[in-house]
Amino acid sequence: MFLQDWTSLFPFLYAILCPFDFFLGGLDMESVGAVVFLPRDHANEMPLLLEKLLFSPGAVWLCEALKSAGVGRFLVVCHDDDREAAAACFPADTEFVTTGADDAGAKLSAFLTREPGKVVVVTRPVLLAPDGLNFLPAGQSPKVETGMYCMSTEVLAADLAAGEDFAGALKLHGGAVSETCAMPLPSRHPAMWRMYQGQAQVLEVSRLERMGARFIDPGSFFSDPTVRVGKGTVILPGTILRGKTTIGADCEIGPNSMIQDCVIGDGVTVNASQLNESTVADRTKVGPFAYVRPHCHVGADVKVGDFVELKNSTIGDGTKISHLTYVGDSDVGDHVNFGCGTVTVNYDGTAKYRTTIGDHAFIGCNTNLVAPVKIGDRAYTAAGSTVTEDVPADSLCIARSPQTIKVQWAAKRRRAKGRK
């Protein structure tokens, strides 16, 4: 079993490394639909394609590959208990049919006849190489059974209307997907699943390289199939890209960085940092050791330096937050300078409040901005201040205790304790 599964990889890997063969015989760009079956196995376990490959279910990998091949609409056949998990893997307008339901045939027929064109049918779990599909002539079987077919929607609908069973219609008039672009996933055994995940990683590197990304150490990179990377971007070792992350051109990402569900502009540097559900505009530098939490919008030419944490904040263009600073629930203008150790104090134990900082403001080191508070344009706060009231534009705020010096206090203390 193990050797048989391994030998099926060779044409698949060849297609990844030799994409000119891979694209031959792919789909033309007429209306293309897909019917995807998500069967439960004999133990009635969750469908194999709903198991995670790296960070995303196998169905997400399948869906993204089919969309890259030109599929524009989906019908998914699954157990009713699996519908919610399956719906998260496919586009929002995907149609669903419950396995064995009385109306299954009618829904399938309606899907096939709604838009004339081609339909891809997926009958078993597979991992597809991205960006194209290679179909054999109707009636010809692949060397390795992939369980995937493509045929005319009109022909399949006519076969079913004439009483032909579904599997028979596929065998009779469907073109099987070649083993050069589809690897069956027959087992959830941990050793086999590690192998599948390794192939998914290879696929991702190959896909992103075609987009123009460059990798220093591809073996230490992991991502989801929904990630997009621009031309000329360099991915350094230990980088993880997740969710619907989009990275622009000519960026440098890593080492040891994780970005999830973010939109990153062109020319951005992210060094040893984590970013989540946020946007970063062009030429901004993040890190090392920065943490950008959800719902942040970081402008262009910004510096988010070491041990800086951002949360639910908007940072204007050209602002510098160089080190050891927390900015949460804040609206920061353009070209603001944050001194080391600044904290926006946004939580009073019951509710959270926002801090507003105007353009060209200067926040001194170790300033506490106790929200809700507003710092005006071009205003300054003195180092060590705890600011609890609004500061008008062009003003200086000093909010700290006056310095007191008690001459010889330490000597008197020592004498009182009998010390010299």
Q: pTM for the complete prediction?
A: 0.87
Query: How is the beta sheet containing 330-332 ordered, strand by strand?
Result: 228-229, 246-247, 263-264, 279-280, 297-298, 314-315, 330-332, 355-357, 373-375
d(CA 102, CA 123) in angstroms, rounded, equals 20
The one-letter amino acid code at 353 reads Y
**pLDDT value of position 302:** 98
Which residue, 30, 58, 378, is CA-closest to 199?
A: 58
Reduced to 3 states (helix: H, G, I; strand: E, B; else coil), residue 371 is coil
CA distance 299 to 280: 6
Asked if 306 and 324 count as a contact pair (C-beta separation under 8 A), the reply is yes
Dist CA 230 CA 290 (whole Å): 23
Q: Quick check: is 323 catalytic?
A: yes
Helices and strands of the chain, counted as H and E runs: 10, 38
What is the H or E stretch that residue 369 is in?
strand 368-370
> For the chain, which ranges sit under pLDDT 70?
1-30, 43, 131-132, 135-136, 138-139, 142, 420
Q: For 42-96, what is each residue's pLDDT tens digit?
A: 767 889 999 999 999 999 999 999 998 889 999 999 999 999 999 999 999 999 9
Residue 235 tokens read as 């991915």
Q: Please state the separation of Cα 220 from the chain's center in Å.
A: 17
Q: How far apart are CA 16 and CA 333, in angstroms?
A: 47
Q: How many CB atoms lie within 10 A of CB 141?
A: 10
**Which tokens sit at 175?**
């073109």
Q: For 255-277, give one letter per residue: b (16+ CB within 10 A) or e.
A: bbbbbbbbbbbbbbbbbbbbbbb
Q: Choose the catalytic residue: 79, 297, 323, 335.
A: 323
Q: What pLDDT does 30 receive? A: 65
Cβ pair 379, 359 in contact under 8 A: no
- Asked if 203 and 185 count as a contact pair (C-beta separation under 8 A), the reply is no
Closest CA to 97 of 108, 110, 113: 108
pLDDT in the model for residue 286:
98
Name the 3-class secondary structure at 150.
Answer: strand
Q: Domains of the chain by range and CATH?
A: 9-195 (3.90.550), 212-397 (2.160.10.10)
pLDDT value at residue 341: 97
Distance CA 208, CA 232 (A): 11
What tokens appear for 110 in the block? Answer: 């309606």
Residues 6+ apart with CB under 8 A from 179: 8, 11, 12, 142, 143, 144, 146
Please report how many Cα atoms fall inside a 13 Å half-sphere around the Cα of residue 403, on the Cβ side: 4
CB atoms within 10 A of CB 342: 23
What dihedral do alpha carbons 379, 383, 387, 391 form, nearest 10°?
A: -10
Q: Are 35 and 118 in contact (CB under 8 A)?
A: no
